[in-house]
């Protein structure tokens, strides 16, 4: 037994190490460096009193400095240690992998499978392009133990800290009051069917609400509401895609296996938490299809349901079905990874064996900015 436990620990630590080296020591990949590199450059050190005042000034007009204070504090601490930008990515990935390890060890029946699900479903984007958001997401995952145990103070403290890193953490606050409760099957399936009708029919119902609220508030809000509602970039839906089919099929499979998965999880609160996150993830995708920008940003906050429910679904299968599941998942995972990363801004470089150039990274970013902002043109 000791040898088996030792082998599991070795595999786990090796996986964490590979994960950390791959993501933490990456070069200038995707688009976030275009914001965080100059931000790190202008960040002051602890000893720079004037720089600190300017960095935290609420009247500063530089859009780069209009970020949450918690992330600014992190930048200052890291900049005090070294001026090398890559240190930010290294520390960020170290924080993420430690949180992810804690989360999977605590909740997943299949640690390695949970890791794979994380990478296939949103993990890559979280690691390479959501430096601030990822901290809010992982603090929410850490706070799930307090939600389950109904410890309101610790739950809100965790997500309050997350809010200091990214404003999207505000979506986690109301979850404390209902995420642990079971949603009736009638509501689960009724909402799912309605969402599909709205999605497939491309029926716009959010736009009038956004415009009405914008007009009611007036001023800049009215202008923003009109801009987003008329923009082909932000208000264009995705239509029927592989992503849509993936979410619909997985939703049906998981809820169809609800009782079997429930038997394996055993803890009623945890069953409700992860299935409710699946419900929010899928229905958000269906109902917010009017605004692709909302789909991309909001659904990622709740992708955690896949990372846990997939391993539990796997545990419910018979041996032969597990082989089929593994084969299908392998094919789908390879296809999804290739499809989502076959773009020049995702060309991988590692600072250990490569020499990434910030000048070249900016050149590629500028040359392909149109395709970056509008993926349908790829």
Give the pLDDT confidence score for residue 213 in this predicted structure: 64
Give the pLDDT confidence score for residue 32 in this predicted structure: 85
Question: Where residue 304 falls among pLDDT bands split at 50, 70, 90?
Answer: very high
Give the pLDDT confidence score for residue 201 in this predicted structure: 81
For 24-81, how does the pLDDT look when each residue is reduced to its tens digit (9 = 90+)? Answer: 999 998 888 888 998 999 889 999 888 888 888 755 555 555 688 899 999 999 999 9
d(CA 1, CA 120): 32
For 253-298, how does the pLDDT look when each residue is reduced to its tens digit (9 = 90+)? Answer: 999 999 999 999 989 999 999 999 999 999 998 888 776 666 777 8
Asked whether residue 233 carries a pLDDT value surpassing 50, the answer given is no
d(CA 264, CA 209): 42
d(CA 201, CA 199): 6
What sign for the dihedral angle of Cα 236, 293, 117, 248? negative
d(CA 334, CA 341): 11
d(CA 134, CA 216): 34
Asked whether residue 220 carries a pLDDT value surpassing 80, the answer given is no
Provide DSSP, 200-256: HTT---HHHHHHHHHHHH-HHHHHHHHHHHH-TTTS----S-HHHHHHHHHHHHHHH
Mean predicted confidence (pLDDT) in 90-113: 93
Name the DSSP class of 344.
G
Query: Regarding predicted confidence, which is higher, 161 or 289?
Result: 161
Asked whether residue 307 carries a pLDDT value surpassing 70, the answer given is yes
Q: For 72, how many CA atoms within 13 A lie in the half-sphere containing its CB?
A: 18
What mean pLDDT value characterizes the chain?
84
What tokens does 115 get? 């890791």
Query: Regarding predicted confidence, which is higher, 271 or 342?
Result: 271
- The percentage of the chain sitting over the pLDDT mark of 90, rounded to a whole number, equals 48
| Number of other residues whose CB lies within 10 A of the CB of residue 275 | 23
What tokens does 255 get? 């809820």
Evaluate if pTM is beyond 0.85.
yes
Give the pLDDT confidence score for residue 377 in this predicted structure: 43
Mean predicted confidence (pLDDT) in 169-182: 94
Residue written as token pair 């001023």: 219
Give the pLDDT confidence score for residue 210 in this predicted structure: 62
Give the pLDDT confidence score for residue 9 in this predicted structure: 79
Contact partners, residue 337, CB within 8 Å, separation at least 6: 119, 120, 124
CB 198 within 8 A of CB 289: yes
Give the pLDDT confidence score for residue 288 in this predicted structure: 81
Residue written as token pair 């997401």: 137
For 194-207, how does the pLDDT look when each residue is reduced to its tens digit (9 = 90+)? Answer: 999 988 887 776 66
CB 295 within 8 A of CB 285: yes
Cα–Cα distances (Å) from 51 to 56, 245, 364, in that order, read 9, 50, 31
């Amino acid at each position: 037994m000791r040898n088996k436990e030792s082998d599991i620990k070795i595999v786990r630590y090796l996986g964490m190490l590979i994960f950390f080296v791959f993501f933490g020591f990456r070069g200038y990949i995707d688009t976030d460096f275009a914001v965080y590199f100059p931000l790190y450059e202008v960040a002051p050190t602890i000893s720079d009193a004037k720089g600190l005042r300017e960095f935290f000034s609420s009247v500063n007009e530089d859009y780069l400095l209009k970020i949450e204070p918690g992330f600014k504090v992190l930048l200052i601490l890291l900049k005090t240690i070294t001026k090398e930008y890559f240190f930010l990515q290294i520390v960020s990935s170290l924080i993420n992998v430690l949180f992810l390890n804690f989360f999977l060890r605590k909740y997943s029946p299949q640690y390695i499978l949970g890791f794979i699900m994380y990478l296939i479903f949103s993990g890559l984007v979280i690691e390479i392009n959501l430096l601030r958001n990822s901290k809010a997401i992982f603090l929410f995952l850490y706070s799930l133990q307090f939600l389950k145990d109904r410890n309101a103070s610790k739950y809100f403290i965790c997500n309050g800290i997350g809010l200091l890193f990214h404003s999207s953490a505000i979506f986690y606050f109301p979850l404390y009051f209902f995420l642990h409760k079971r949603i009736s099957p009638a509501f689960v399936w009724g909402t799912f069917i309605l969402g599909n009708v709205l999605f497939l029919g491309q029926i716009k119902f959010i736009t009038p609400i956004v415009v009405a609220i914008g007009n009611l508030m007036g001023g800049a809000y009215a202008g923003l509401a009109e801009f987003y509602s008329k923009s082909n970039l932000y208000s264009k839906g995705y239509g029927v895609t592989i992503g849509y089919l993936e979410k619909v099929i997985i939703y049906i499979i998981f809820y169809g296996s609800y009782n079997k998965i429930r038997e394996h999880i055993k803890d009623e609160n945890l069953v409700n938490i992860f299935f409710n996150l699946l419900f929010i993830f899928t229905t958000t995708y269906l109902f917010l299809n009017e605004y692709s920008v909302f789909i991309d940003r909001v659904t990622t906050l709740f992708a955690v349901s896949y990372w846990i429910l997939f391993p539990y679904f796997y545990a419910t299968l018979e041996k032969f079905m597990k082989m089929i599941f593994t084969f299908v998942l392998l094919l789908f995972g390879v296809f999804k990874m290739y499809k989502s990363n076959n773009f020049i801004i995702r060309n991988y470089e590692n600072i250990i064996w490569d020499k990434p150039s910030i000048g070249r990274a900016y050149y590629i970013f500028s040359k392909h900015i149109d395709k970056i902002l509008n993926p349908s043109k790829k």
